[in-house]
Amino acid sequence: MNAIPNRRIIRAPRGATLNAKSWQTEGPLRMLMNNLDSEVAERPEDLVVYGGRGRAARNWESYDRIVASLKSLELDETLLVQSGKPVGIIRTHADAPRVLIANSNLVGKWATAEVFDELERKGLMMYGQMTAGSWSYIGSQGIIGGTFETFVEAGRQHFGGELKGRWLLTAGLGGMGGAQPLAGVMAGCSVLAVEARAERIERRIESGYLDRRAGTLDEAMALIRDARRDGAPVSIGLIGNAAEVYEAILETGDLPDLVTDQTAAHDPLHGYLPAGYTIPEWERLRETNPEMITRAAKETMARQVRAMLAFKRRGVAVFDYGNNIRQMARDVGVEEAFDFPGFIAAYIRPQFCRGRTQFRWVALSGDPEDIVRSSRRLREVVKDPSFGRWIDMAEDRIRFQGLPSRSYWMGLQDRVAAGQALNEMVANGEVAAPIVVGRDHISSGSVASPNRESEGMLDGSDAVSDWPLLNALVSCASGATWVSIHHGGGTGIGYSQHAGLALVCDGTPDSARRIGRVLANDSAVAVFRHADAGYDEALATVEREGLMMPPKLE
């Protein structure tokens, strides 16, 4: 069965004292625990980290056995985790990953939400989402950089680079979606975010991601009008059902400039509140009548997508924010659901072609000063001229959740230089303990998701999932500390395959060698994926970065 609710309070140990036998195993141990820190996870009591029901471990027994395994694991051993359950320890070697994880994978014909739900009910699987089951989630601070980049690019494409005086309508203030209001304000526009649960609005206000709540739509619209007039962006949370509020806003005729949505629509059973139900009714019916409630959720999503299409017809820039809401609406008859684009195809793909991938770093010491010091050092080594501005903004606006960390999208050379610089800082004792580096799963070298990362590929290879599998193999061969292969993250079961990696920078020369290989090769796969698909910009990146592709034969 699913995880049993448990009131235990999980918090990663801080400081420089080991609980495991080495930093290579202490790193994944602290990151697993950090995923379930109440500052970080959305529902830690039942092991849910974010993204609908994205879990860190299958149940509490599995969690305890993973922790015990990591504490006793030797430097030539590797722990195997199958959908959140530890299933074996094998003898490997020092450069091999210490943990290998496979989450939510199903054979093609069986890769449906119904089969998955049944297997989950039987206790045989868990939904790993992307960074939940790969123990790399760091809260909304992990996605805010990507959200910011998306909004800035939307502003560049639609409004000549100026978002001042504009406003964005969205929904969902969960683990990922909660980054939208702050990212929007940082990019220069006001944000109205519709959220079904009052406590999520409060949580975002408390964590500094949301400026204020509005009691009614009228109040929210008045606040937006004031902000536009004053040119001072504001973010507002409004309690309600997204479909109903979007329809109501259409009727007012007071149209937003940008419209999207980040409810957990990828999971129609657990992730999206159908119209006409209270939260307690919804939670009860999910258990007693899952088919009916799934259908009701999809029907409401159809209403929301129809409203989004109507916004588009009236000239508003509308995009899907990676939760598969278009597919859910099409499933129940909205044929034209894909008339508005996904955010990757619309705004992000050129970044992938340039080899930009996320770089996140986490201070295992728990000391915020380690991030302050490391950010200062990275300003010196990262060549991207926008990095310093991002760190200024982050230091000003983004509060830490759980273990202190930061993230930024970097090109191949910047990622390697940043990883090496952090390792040197650990070696020189400039930080209090080792640092974990990694990334999210948003890069189409490591993600195949035909309605998201790989939507509309130039060569039609959207559904080919060899790339994330190759990516995971490359991370293993290069010596990442832990590597994971997942199915169903972001867009839901049947719609994606993706791979994650993380590295512990423990200050040793061995670590330096692994960092160089892992980060360069991970970025290279993303570039190869796009070069192979025929993107000129990716082919230029291959040249610029000196990457090796098999020679062309005459």
Q: Which residues are part of a known binding site for NAD(+)?
A: 51-52, 129, 175-177, 195, 200, 241-242, 262-266, 272-273, 321, 490
Q: Is 322 in the site for ligand NAD (CB under 6 A)?
A: yes
Per-residue H/E/C for 443-497? CCCCEECCCCCCCCCCCCCCCCCHHHHHHHHHHHHHCCCEEEEEECCCCCCCCCE
Q: Is 506 in the site for ligand NAD (CB under 6 A)?
A: no
Q: Is 224 in the site for ligand NAD (CB under 6 A)?
A: no
User: What are 513's two structure tokens?
Assistant: 């060698």
Per-residue H/E/C for 399-424? CCCCCCEEEEEECHHHHHHHHHHHHH
Q: Is 323 in the site for ligand NAD (CB under 6 A)?
A: yes
Our CB check for ligand NAD shows the closer of 228 and 498 to be 498
- In angstroms, the CA 245 to CA 250 distance is 9
Q: Is 193 in the site for ligand NAD (CB under 6 A)?
A: no
DSSP assignment of 139-200:
-GGGTHHHHHHHHHHHHHHHHTT--TT-EEEEE--STTGGGHHHHHHHHT-EEEEEES-HHH
**Considering only 44-52, 91-99, 421-429, 468-476, which stretch makes contact with ligand NAD by CB under 6 A?**
44-52
Per-residue H/E/C for 232-295? CCCEEEEECCHHHHHHHHHHHCCCCCEECCCCCCCCCCCCCCCCCCCHHHHHHHHHHCHHHHHH
- Binding footprint of ligand NAD, residue count (CB under 6 A): 34
User: What are 524's two structure tokens?
Assistant: 């290279």
- Fill in the per-residue mask, 130 to 169: x = in contact with ligand NAD (CB under 6 A), - = not in contact: x------------x--x-----------------------
The least distance separating ligand NAD from the CB of residue 205, rounded to whole angstroms, comes to: 14
- In angstroms, the CA 485 to CA 469 distance is 7
Of 364, 452, 441, the residue nearest 403 (C-alpha): 364
The least distance separating ligand NAD from the CB of residue 282, rounded to whole angstroms, comes to: 9
Q: Is 265 in the site for ligand NAD (CB under 6 A)?
A: yes
- From the list 116, 319, 321, 352, which residue makes contact with ligand NAD (rule: CB under 6 A)? 321
- From the list 71, 158, 164, 197, which residue makes contact with ligand NAD (rule: CB under 6 A)? 197
Q: 10 Å Cβ neighbour count for 175? A: 30
DSSP state of 386: T
Q: Is 445 in the site for ligand NAD (CB under 6 A)?
A: no
Q: Is 522 in the site for ligand NAD (CB under 6 A)?
A: no
Q: Which residue number places its CB atom closest to ligand NAD?
A: 174
- Fill in the per-residue mask, 404 to 443: x = in contact with ligand NAD (CB under 6 A), - = not in contact: --------------------------------------x-
Residues tagged in the binding site annotation: 51-52, 129, 175-177, 195, 200, 241-242, 262-266, 272-273, 321, 490
- In angstroms, the CA 476 to CA 228 distance is 50
3-state secondary structure of 536: helix
**Considering only 193-201, 312-320, 418-426, 544-552, which stretch makes contact with ligand NAD by CB under 6 A?**
193-201
**Considering only 24-32, 74-82, 190-198, 402-410, which stretch makes contact with ligand NAD by CB under 6 A?**
190-198
- Residue 155 burial by CB count (10 A; 0-12/13-18/19+): exposed, middle or buried? buried
Which residues does 102 contact at the CB level (< 8 Å), separation at least 6? 81, 82, 83, 484, 485, 486
Q: Is 472 in the site for ligand NAD (CB under 6 A)?
A: no
Q: Is 273 in the site for ligand NAD (CB under 6 A)?
A: yes
The least distance separating ligand NAD from the CB of residue 308, rounded to whole angstroms, comes to: 13
Please state at what angle helix 387-397 crosses helix 180-187, rounded to 10 degrees: 120
Q: Is 171 in the site for ligand NAD (CB under 6 A)?
A: yes
What residues line the site for ligand NAD (CB under 6 A)? 42, 50-52, 130, 143, 146, 171-177, 194-197, 200, 241-242, 262-266, 271-273, 321-323, 442, 490
